[in-house]
Amino acid sequence: MSDTPVLQYSFLAPILIVLGGAVIGVLLEAFAAAKRRAVLQLTLTLGTLFIAFLSLLRIRNLTSAKAAMGSVMIDGPTILMQGTILLIAFFAVMIIGDVDNFTAQASAVPGSDEEKSALQAGRQQTEIFPLTLFAVAGMLLFPAANDLVTLFVALEVLSLPLYLMAGLSRHRRLFSQEAALKYFLLGAYASAFFLFGAAFLYGFSYSVTLSGIHAAVIGGTANNIFLLIGLTFISLGLLFKVGAVPFHAWTPDVYQGAPTPITGFMAAATKVAAFGAMLRIYYVTFAEANWNWRPILTVIAIATMLVGSIVAITQRDIKRMLAYSSIAHAGFLFTGVIALNKAGLAATLFYLLAYGFATIGAFGVITLVRDSSGEITDLNRWAGLGRRSPKIAALFSFFLFAFAGIPLTSGFIGKFAIFTAAYESGNIGVVVVGVLSSAIAAFFYIRVIVMMYFADDNGDSLTVVIPSPLTSIAIWVSGGVTLVLGVYPTPVLNAINTLATFIR
């Protein structure tokens, strides 16, 4: 006799709704008329994300709930991270909704007649929307996963669509496909490492559940070598996803090659999911074994901050520059992870939200700066943008100030919170490096502002194109969130502080 598995559908509702929306999206792609497809898909995707967010609100007051036979943990941090991911995804989709960024027919060979005719006939495929929803579902599951198998499944569900999405750019398609292939190959290696680590952890604890592994860690009788090997390889898989040094090499290429709306989505949402999972693993499962991982992660945090900030200075392409900046920000986030205290958890969650919105907004602005051949990401050609489009340039400057952590932006509160947590945990060296790399980073952010405002207009043909009101809404809302979180973050901080406690 066996028990029927109890899934606890209401707790899983946000994930299931997003998955359901994705499946409907696939059907829509097959059966809806080409003319109306884009609008239908966009509506469906936004609607799905909205309903998922509503269903998440319904379960926000749960103190602790395991779902799907203990495989999924719905606790405070999960709710916060899922909420962040859904919000970020919602606004990212608004920007993705401008389908001109994507190839009309992904299966056509770049530069072929088939591609041209698809473009001319307006046969725009819109698989990007269901792919986004699948990725979002994986991201929702990733920080909630409570055993290694679910964790791996979530990792793959979030990664596979992203590999594809990175290759869908309409302009410079070969470049985009190269990025996708790179991302896929390296990602596959990372996944393999992750599985390898999971196997060793099973050998260590005879369990794949996080609580089982935790019990073995405190038990202290199991084979520590297995623990070390397992921990190392699992961390490797996760470090790859967030682009930590020395596993960061893919980031600039993929960020540059992928369609810009996707880059923004990836940079913002993947970080939330991956750091969410990382926080759970380190805070819940391996907290007592922190001597085994904290020193190494400290070194990685320092290296990530420094490499990201220093290499970004040499970049002449704005997307590559923001890629290195995202590496530096991953380093700042690590200082929150290794703080290993409640303040660190709360600060990391706040930082993810703040960084996510600023990133969506910044990449959203980049999609608007175009000439006749498409988007312009060469920094030199942005000269004089401040004169031609003062509002958009001001908004972009504001996002850059947020990245640099200037007061009255969300970035400042985030940095303050995260460095405070690190200092509180006694890790003063990391704080000093963090502060220094912030100073280095300020240099290249400001250089963009100099370019836009103080460089002379070179008579370039570049303009700011607002493709649809949705894009405008997305970037201005992101700007608003960045401002509000910088001026009056109290409600958000309070919510985070009430909810930010992991349940084992």
Interface ranges with other proteins (CB under 8 A): 386-387, 390, 401, 404, 406-408, 412-413, 415-417, 419-420, 423-424, 428, 431-432, 435-436, 438-439, 442-443, 446-447, 450, 453-455, 488-490, 493-494, 497
Tokens 């280095």 belong to: 440
Q: How far is the CB of 494 from other proteins (least distance, A)?
A: 6
d(CA 266, CA 281): 22
Task: Determine how β-strand 463-464 pairs with β-strand 72-74.
Answer: unpaired
Beta bridge partners of 169: 102
Instruction: Check: CB of residue 321 under 8 Å from CB of residue 252.
Output: no
Q: Which residue's CB is nearer to other proteins, number 7 or number 446?
A: 446
- Give the distance, in angstroms, between the CA of residue 158 and the centroid of all CA atoms in the same chain: 11
Q: Which residue, 295 or 390, is less far from other proteins as judged by CB?
A: 390
Identity of the residue numbered 92: A
Nearer to other proteins, 380 or 494 (CB): 494
CA–CA dist 341, 345 (Å, integer): 6
Report the nearest approach of other proteins to the CB of residue 407 (Å).
4
Minimum distance between the CB of residue 110 and other proteins, rounded to whole angstroms?
40
Give the nearer residue to other proteins in terms of CB position, either 206 or 454: 454
What single-letter amino acid sits at 122?
G
Least distance (Å) between residue 310 CB and other proteins: 15
* Tokens encoding 190: 């990372």
The distance of closest approach from Cβ of residue 448 to other proteins in the complex, given in angstroms and rounded to an integer, is 11
Which of 266/413 has CB closer to other proteins? 413
Q: What stretch of H or E contains 14? A: helix 9-31
Q: Do the Cβ atoms of 276 and 143 come closer than 8 Å?
A: yes
Question: What residue type is assigned to position 502 of the chain?
Answer: F
CA distance 205 to 260: 43
Question: CA 312 to CA 94: how far, in whole Å?
Answer: 28
Least gap, CB of 161 to other proteins (angstroms): 37
Radius of gyration, alpha carbons of the chain: 22
Residue closer to other proteins by CB (options 254, 404) is 404
Q: What's at 326, amino acid-wise?
A: S
* Interatomic CA distance for residues 66 and 145, integer angstroms: 10
**Which residue, 119 or 310, is less far from other proteins as judged by CB?**
310
Minimum distance, C-beta of residue 416 to other proteins, in the bound complex (Å): 7
